[in-house]
Structure 1
Amino acid sequence: MTDVKVCGLSTVETLDAAIGGGATHVGFVFFAPSPRNLSFDTAASLAARTPDHVRRVGVFVDPNDEMLEHAVQAGRLHAVQLHRTAPQRVAHLRQRTGLETWAAVAVKTRSDLDGASDYAGAADRILFDAKTPMDAALPGGMGIRFDWSLLDGFRHRMPWALSGGLDAGNVAEAIRRTGAPLVDASSGLESAPGVKSVDKIVAFLQSVAAS
């Protein structure tokens, strides 16, 4: 059974859809430029509604220590997911929080995959995500996918997850193609940027369950 994270949740209805549909992880975004950004108060209310068997993951872009600590407390986080964060910084934040730590690696070419080895000993899991354009405001959540064949024959040295442009229509293929132990979707489950769709969440989780 593939684990599945529904990321960028911001409302009770969509959180309930994710939990009810069998998501193993839910993602709360703490990054001001993102349309999915949560206030600490909203994160706290959603966290209180999330059963502890569902892992709460906070999503950050190279956060400072103080902001990260506030978010961890508000969101009652089990894990932190770090984008655009250097390995040494990831190691520092992992030690500081004591939480499971994911490092996002942006992928466009096979050589990008090699960056995952830099996080050995610094992170607990690698999240392979599609590389966004250099001038993009967001490091993820833009509906871009990378060529999954790049993962063919790649030797994973750490637990990992697959992200980038996943939705109900392609996630089963993604799992078959890559063998991903965990899949992560955000923009593919939205009706507009930052607006999750209950129907799309349900369909996505059904596709994962049937794969």
Structure 2
Amino acid sequence: MVTVKICGLRDPDMVAFAAREGADWIGFNFVPQSPRYVTPEAAATLMLRLGKAVPVALMADPDDALVMQIARLGFPVLQLHGQETPERAKEIKSLTGRDIWKAFGVRERSDLGQIGTFPDIDGLLVDAKAPDGAAFGGGHGQAFDWSILKGWSAPKPWLLAGGLTPDNVAEALRQTGAPGVDVSSGVERIRGLKDRELVRAFIRAAKGRPDQP
């Protein structure tokens, strides 16, 4: 079964809804430049509504103080979405004892080469490279050419991200064979605010059960 991560949630009712609908992971965004940013204090409240979903903390180039503050909230997974080096990823893993995921922005086949330089991460996201000059790395609603993944073998468990929607996620999975998918802007009608119908439709399309009531 394909796994699904719904990222950038800020509303407790939406967290509970996504979990009930079958989201495997729910991501909370701690990047201040993002329209989906939440404070650690807000995240602590949101996490009370997770049900069986696993929380993931998204950060970009965090300092040790933020890393430890987030880890103490009980996040089992820390997702790095900045310019972190392999050494920094290893350092954060040692500091917190948490699983570390790293997001990699790609636009062409050669961009996949960077992934193999991170031997100490536990998982990865293959995302669309952010537009030039963007203030933050992900959540821009742009897909990349999935054909660049043909014949590529991921060195770690991975999720496909970047421009996924309820309408294209099934095709994306068919083309890439991804074991899981990550979505943020693709389930929003207003930037930064998730839509229940789109969240439900995305999860059902990704998991191959669109006709369920």
> Structures share a fold, TM > 0.5?
yes
Check conservation: 2:106, 2:112, Cα contact below 8 A.
yes
Structure 2 counterpart of 1:108, one-letter code: R
The match for 1:73 is: 72
| Cα RMSD (Å) | 1.1
Name the structure 2 match of 1:144.
142
Q: Size of the alignment, in residue pairs?
A: 208
Mapped partners of 1:18, 1:93: distance in 2: 29
Q: AA paired with 2:181?
A: V
Tell me, in whole angstroms, the C-alpha distance in 2 between the residues paired with 1:8 and 1:81: 12
- Extract structure 1 runs of 4+ deviating beyond 2 A: none
Q: Give the structure 2 partner of residue 129 of structure 1.
A: 127
Percent of pairs with identical residues: 38
Q: Distance in 1 between matches of 2:128 and 2:87?
A: 22
Q: Measure the CA separation in 1 of the matches of 2:72 and 2:172.
A: 34
Aligned to 1:45: 45
Partner of residue 186, structure 1: 184
User: Displacement of 1:139 after TM fit?
Assistant: 0.4
CA contact 1:14–1:201 (8 Å) conserved in 2: no
CA distance in 2, matches of 1:34, 1:72: 20
Shift of 1:170: 0.6
Aligned to 2:110: 111
2:94 is aligned to: 95
1 CA distance for matches of 2:17 and 2:49? Answer: 12
Rounded Cα–Cα distance in structure 2 between residues aligned with 1:178 and 1:127: 13
In 1: Cα distance, 2:71 partner to 2:93 partner: 12
What does the per-residue CA deviation read over 1:96-118, in whole Å, with 9 as the maximum and x for residues that have no partner?
11111101111001000111101
1:126: how far off? 1.5
**TM-score, length of structure 1 as denominator length:** 0.95
- The CA deviation string for residues 51-86 of structure 1, in whole angstroms up to 9 with x for no partner, is 3x3211000101001011112223x21101001211
Taking the aligned partners of 2:139 and 2:131, their CA distance within structure 1 comes to 12
SS of the residue 2:207 aligns to: helix
Could you tell me whether the CA contact under 8 Å between 1:25 and 1:57 is conserved in 2?
yes
Shift of 1:13: 2.1
> Residue in 2 aligned with 1:58?
57
Structure 1 gaps of 5+ residues are: none
Letter in 1 for 2:26: V
TM-score by length of 2: 0.94
What does residue 5 of structure 2 align with? 5
Say whether the 8 Å CA contact 1:13–1:198 is kept in structure 2. Answer: no
Q: Deviations over 1:138-186 (max 9, x none)?
A: 1000101111000000122211111001110011111111111110000
CA distance in 1, matches of 2:13, 2:198: 12
Tell me, yes or no, if structure 1 residue 172 matches structure 2 residue 170: yes
**Cα distance, 1:134 vs. partner?**
2.6
